[in-house]
Amino acid sequence: MTERYKDITIVNGKYNIDILESNNPIFVCVISYTETSEIPGITVAGANKDLIKYTSSADAEFLYYGRCKCINGVPATPDGKPTPAIITKTMLNIGNIPFIVVDSGVKIKPDIPLFSFNLRSGKNISDNIAMESEEVEKAYRYGLILGKQLSKSHDLVILGESIPGGTTTALGVMLSLGIDAENKMSSSMPENPHKLKNTLIRKSMKKSNIAFGSLKNKPFDAISLFGDPMIPSVTGIAQGIIENGGRVMLAGGTQMCCILSILKSLKVKTDKVFIGTTKYIFNDHSADFTNLVLSIDDNVGIVISDLHLIESTKLGLKAFANGFVKEGVGAGGVSIATMINANGKLNGETLLKYIEREYEKTIEKKFTLNEINI
Amino acid sequence: MTERYKDITIVNGKYNIDILESNNPIFVCVISYTETSEIPGITVAGANKDLIKYTSSADAEFLYYGRCKCINGVPATPDGKPTPAIITKTMLNIGNIPFIVVDSGVKIKPDIPLFSFNLRSGKNISDNIAMESEEVEKAYRYGLILGKQLSKSHDLVILGESIPGGTTTALGVMLSLGIDAENKMSSSMPENPHKLKNTLIRKSMKKSNIAFGSLKNKPFDAISLFGDPMIPSVTGIAQGIIENGGRVMLAGGTQMCCILSILKSLKVKTDKVFIGTTKYIFNDHSADFTNLVLSIDDNVGIVISDLHLIESTKLGLKAFANGFVKEGVGAGGVSIATMINANGKLNGETLLKYIEREYEKTIEKKFTLNEINI
């Protein structure tokens, strides 16, 4: 930690935060869907089963408009804890950071212009393979193309995701790659349903005759069997950037560990890869984020933002510090980029005020139409 | 003309070429479709009627892969004159200029990642309205959003298009806006079918009770009746960029005059708008490009590139200088950006050698698979 950035911490001591400075960062949000999310108890993203398929598209609309179009209100837990897109949007506005949304197989098309990878949604891995091999290959190939283009203009790309149920599919992929991720995955709920996830994945692996680590060198097979469309898309984008000399910040929690494990399996250099997330993932005692990252690659910089949500007067935001939601839609990584962009003039406490204002405008509905920012 | 850029000319004397210098240009290619192109004699883009719907998607694939996937070979006239995408691709490679493709209602989806505006193709204006008002509004609105995002990262955006039959729909829109474009539109053929286009548009206008200039202040109505999906998409992107302080180069011929006329009708400032095209459009005696531009807006910089195609040993390229094809897929504008990017170290003669090499690889099929550039 340096004084200038009091609310950013690099966990592993090798790096100084200056390494993340950038003149022209961009945020890429990959939205996707897996039917695995429809298994009861897997996700809290979306107030009920019917709403789950709207979650990632509503998040994407929220980033552009500050409100959603495909649903009334904003994505939230049944008792009103909001999507982390609230944080992401606030940061993108403050930092004037450009962003694009990539459609990697959503069920409901959001009412925004988006980068389409023209993919089908992922299947429920308890009774199907997740994706056809051709779809995995296409997602990865399109990702490489997009990553190459992005790296021509941007020296830092922040990659985030929104896919309900994504930690479960990520667990399946990592176990088949030989990464011991059991009981280490985060959840959007404080009562982390490890048992449900573990049982589901073990059954799926058994069904396909896959043991722990037996797809160590076949990451695309692992994705096809147990993954989701977000995983090969983000992997391709990241690799496309890295191979063209750019830096990547994987913005998220344990799902991004899955991306890292595939990059390692593909022997992609990771010296310009960082994982950026929130303090709430880092401190999640129901998971084991840091050791999971280090078990995959102890060279990758782990960067943590503290947004002081524990001090918020808004209960829906304070809940993030108490084990709910915690991260998603690139919230942690984009916060880090915003603080660095501001050269330390904005810290977690000042940013909290802006997040609370966004919360008032959307959750507490004090906004007026002419404040909506396109 | 300055010595440094011997093959770039700014026609109207107000500007120096330096005004187009940029640290981070991007090329945006909007691909689209109008069923108006299916009227016999309207277009030569596509070897026959069934192939027309593949033309713009094949162009887009060519920009990424140096070959097409949705068709064998590359888009070409029946006697083998190639798509101007050959020029565009060569320039993008040499200049390492990033680019994106926007799908604004193509019939056939290309096998590339693309920015989707989720629009239907345009109808044949001889027996339908071109587009529903809601589609015009959506294209324009998505354009504004994309333009705003692009202007955060790029101080110069080069906007090109690929839509067969687009000069005819552009003529319809301009006449209803009160721009005297009759007999001034370029064609991809040396025998410019003015009579066919004029008759078609007059009939369509009569059918809808629209006289010359009667939609002067209703550009969206003009697009809905006589336009195509490319027009509101490019207009929105251009306006989104301009309103956020960026510069726009409309890369094309008389179709881009239509965009300019709509921007003027919408009272958008055009002091940061340029039209960049080829010498072959500028010199086209079957049309009247320069006077058409000046009749719309005498403040707009008209920038012309000379690629010395008349000197080419390749008959398919030499044909561009003899009235065939002439322009398209942003070829002229991207050439200008490439010469400026190279700070005068590349001129039209040196670039011709690279274009001829691309021609050999694709039209003369001397390429090998490992030379294909993704």
Residues near B50 by beta carbon (within 8 Å), at least 6 away in sequence: none
For A77-107, the three-class secondary structure string (H helix, E strand, C coil) is CCCCCECCHHHHHHHHHHHCCCEEEEEECCC
Band (B222; pLDDT cuts 50, 70, 90): very high
Terminal CA-CA length for chain B:
35
Mean pLDDT lowest among A45-49, A316-320, B82-86, B132-136: A45-49
For A130-197, the three-class secondary structure string (H helix, E strand, C coil) is CCCHHHHHHHHHHHHHHHHHHHHHCCEEEEEEECCCHHHHHHHHHHHHCCCCCCCCCCCCCCCCHHHH
Closest to B90 (Cα-Cα) out of B368, B369, B361: B361
Terminal CA-CA length for chain A:
35
Mean pLDDT of A249-269: 97
Residues in B touching A98 (Cβ below 8 Å): 149-150, 152-153
- Give, for A236, the enclosing helix (H) or strand (E): helix A230-242
A244 vs B: CB within 8 A: no
CA–CA distance, B88 with B95 (Å, rounded to integer): 10
Q: Characterize B42-81 residue by residue with b for buried, 16 or more Cβ atoms within 10 angstroms of its Cβ, and e for exposed.
A: bbbbbbeeebbbbbbbbbbbbbbbbbbebbeebbbbeeeb
* Amino acid (1-letter code) at residue B128: N
SS3 of B335, please?
helix
CA–CA distance, A11 with A303 (Å, rounded to integer): 6
Token pair, residue A200, equals 């589901």
Residue A4 CB-half CA count within 13 A: 12
CA–CA distance, B49 with B46 (Å, rounded to integer): 7
CB of B75 closer than 8 Å to CB of B43: no
Query: For residue range A226-243, what is the model confidence (pLDDT) as tens digits?
Result: 999 999 999 999 999 999
- Position with higher pLDDT, A124 vs A372: A124
Quick one: what percent of chain B has pLDDT higher than 90? 83
CA–CA distance, A291 with A296 (Å, rounded to integer): 9
Closest to A348 (Cα-Cα) out of A336, A358, A357: A336
pLDDT at A13: 75
CA–CA distance, B264 with B50 (Å, rounded to integer): 36
Closest to B233 (Cα-Cα) out of B258, B210, B213: B258
Mean pLDDT of A149-173: 97
CA–CA distance, A111 with A57 (Å, rounded to integer): 8
Contact at CB, A114 and B112, closer than 8 angstroms: no
* Amino acid (1-letter code) at residue B3: E
Mean pLDDT lowest among A45-49, A210-214, A284-288, B72-76: A45-49
Residues in B touching A142 (Cβ below 8 Å): 112-113
CA–CA distance, B260 with B298 (Å, rounded to integer): 11
CB of B26 closer than 8 Å to CB of B358: no
pLDDT above 50: residue A73: yes
Residues near B328 by beta carbon (within 8 Å), at least 6 away in sequence: B45, B59, B83, B84, B85, B160, B161, B162, B188, B252
SS3 of B37, please?
helix
For B103-125, the three-class secondary structure string (H helix, E strand, C coil) is EECCCCCCCCCEEECCCCCECCC
Query: For residue range A4-16, what is the model confidence (pLDDT) as tens digits?
Result: 899 999 998 788 8
ipTM for the predicted complex comes to: 0.92
Mean pLDDT of B114-137: 97
CA–CA distance, A208 with A362 (Å, rounded to integer): 45
A42 vs B: CB within 8 A: no
Mean pLDDT of A21-36: 96
DSSP code of residue A363: T
B15 vs A: CB within 8 A: no
pLDDT at A162: 96
pLDDT at B47: 52
pLDDT above 60: residue B374: no
A2 vs B: CB within 8 A: no
Tell me which residue has tokens 């309207």.
Answer: B42
pLDDT above 90: residue B16: no
Distance from CA of B108 to the nearest CA of A (A): 13
Distance, C-alpha A287 to centroid of its chain: 16
pLDDT at A374: 37
Mean pLDDT lowest among A31-40, B217-226, B363-372: B363-372
Mean pLDDT of B335-356: 95
Residues near B335 by beta carbon (within 8 Å), at least 6 away in sequence: B87, B91, B278, B305, B307, B348, B351
Query: For residue range B51-108, what is the model confidence (pLDDT) as tens digits?
Result: 899 999 999 999 999 999 999 888 887 777 899 999 999 999 999 999 999 999 999 9
Closest to B85 (Cα-Cα) out of B115, B105, B107, B110: B110
pLDDT above 50: residue A128: yes
The partner residue sitting opposite B109, judged by closest CB among A24, A97, A118, is A118
pLDDT at A31: 98
CA–CA distance, B74 with B358 (Å, rounded to integer): 12
To test the contact with chain B by mutation, choose from A27, A116, A341 the residue with the greatest count of B C-beta atoms within 10 A, namely A116
CB of A213 closer than 8 Å to CB of A252: no
Integer angstrom CA distances of residue B104 from A211, B107, B116, B117, B272: 46, 10, 7, 5, 24
**What is the value of pTM for the model shown?**
0.94
Distance from CA of A118 to the nearest CA of B (A): 8
B117 vs A: CB within 8 A: yes
- CB count in 10 Å sphere of residue B111: 18
Mean pLDDT of chain B: 93
The partner residue sitting opposite A153, judged by closest CB among B26, B116, B118, is B26
- CB count in 10 Å sphere of residue B21: 14
pLDDT at A80: 75
* Cα dihedral: A56, A58, A62, A64 (round 10): 80
Q: Considering only alpha carbons, which residue of chain B is nearest residue A151?
A: B98
Query: For residue range A310-365, what is the model confidence (pLDDT) as tens digits?
Result: 999 999 999 999 999 999 999 999 999 999 999 989 999 999 999 999 999 888 87
pLDDT above 60: residue A161: yes
Closest to A116 (Cα-Cα) out of B53, B109, B99: B109
pLDDT at B188: 84
Mean pLDDT of B225-252: 98
Helices (H), chain B: 49-65, 85-95, 133-153, 166-177, 194-207, 219-226, 230-242, 254-265, 279-282, 289-296, 315-318, 331-341, 348-362
pLDDT above 90: residue A55: yes
Contact at CB, B152 and A96, closer than 8 angstroms: yes
Q: Considering only alpha carbons, which residue of chain B is nearest residue A233?
A: B113
DSSP code of residue B69: S
B97 vs A: CB within 8 A: yes
Sign of the alpha-carbon torsion through A288, A293, A296, A297: negative
Contact at CB, B117 and A113, closer than 8 angstroms: yes
CB of B120 closer than 8 Å to CB of B131: yes
SS3 of A337, please?
helix
Distance, C-alpha B257 to centroid of its chain: 10
Query: For residue range B27-49, what is the model confidence (pLDDT) as tens digits?
Result: 999 999 999 999 998 887 555 67
Pairing status of strand B114-116 against strand A114-116: antiparallel
- Position with higher pLDDT, A77 vs A133: A133
Integer angstrom CA distances of residue B6 from A18, B9, B115, B331: 43, 8, 36, 18
Token pair, residue B17, equals 């070429």
pLDDT above 90: residue B366: no
pLDDT at B371: 44
Token pair, residue B89, equals 């691709």
CB of B339 closer than 8 Å to CB of B346: yes
CB of A309 closer than 8 Å to CB of A332: no
